[in-house]
Amino acid sequence: MARLKFFWKSGETLTYEAFEADGTVRTTSTSIPEIGTTGYYTVVDASVVTGDVAVINDGTNNVGGGEENPPVIISSDGLDSVSTTEPSGLAMNFREQMVQLYRRFFGKVTLSGNQILNFKSDESTVATTQEVEETTALQTQGEAT
């Protein structure tokens, strides 16, 4: 099912035709209603599927068109399949950053003298270290390495 969206001059009578990838007509000359007098035209068509091409016509000329390409939606359990393999050092991408952040708050972490050690899930291998400085009223934690 496709939601066709198009912006054009207000007050026009626009129609569209939808074609399958091989050029076969899927939907013939169907009206696209304008929302108020905004120049924004939209319609939902259950017969149009991913990969179809819609051609927009103003009654005289083809004025636009495009391929149906719905947004990607992650299901409620979609993130459960993302790898939680720990990075070998400092995180280099978003997935690794999330794993490292989780390990920082829920994994083994030690503060000894002037260093924070963040451990991997085996609780013996150091994943990252962070220098810590302390003055009379202030502790400063440096970046992880």
Neighbouring C-alpha atoms within 13 Å toward the C-beta of 115: 8
pTM over 0.75: no
Query: Phi/psi of residue 32, each to 5°?
Result: -115, 110
Instruction: Measure the CA–CA gap between 109 and 126, rounded to whole angstroms.
Output: 9
Range of the domain at 21: 2-67
How many distinct structural domains can be found in the chain? Answer: 2
Burial track 75-101 (b if 16+ CB lie within 10 A, e otherwise)? eeeeeeeeeeebbeeebeeeebeebbe
Domain contains 129: yes
63 and 88 share one domain: no
- Cα 13 to Cα 122: distance, rounded to the nearest angstrom: 66
| CATH number for 53 | 2.60.40.10
**Does residue 73 form part of some domain?**
no
User: Looking at the structure, do residues 57 and 91 belong to the same domain, yes or no?
Assistant: no
Residue-by-residue pLDDT tens, the chain, 145 positions? 677 888 899 999 899 999 998 989 998 888 988 999 999 988 888 888 888 888 999 989 999 888 877 667 777 788 888 888 888 888 899 999 999 999 889 999 999 888 999 999 999 999 999 998 888 888 888 888 7
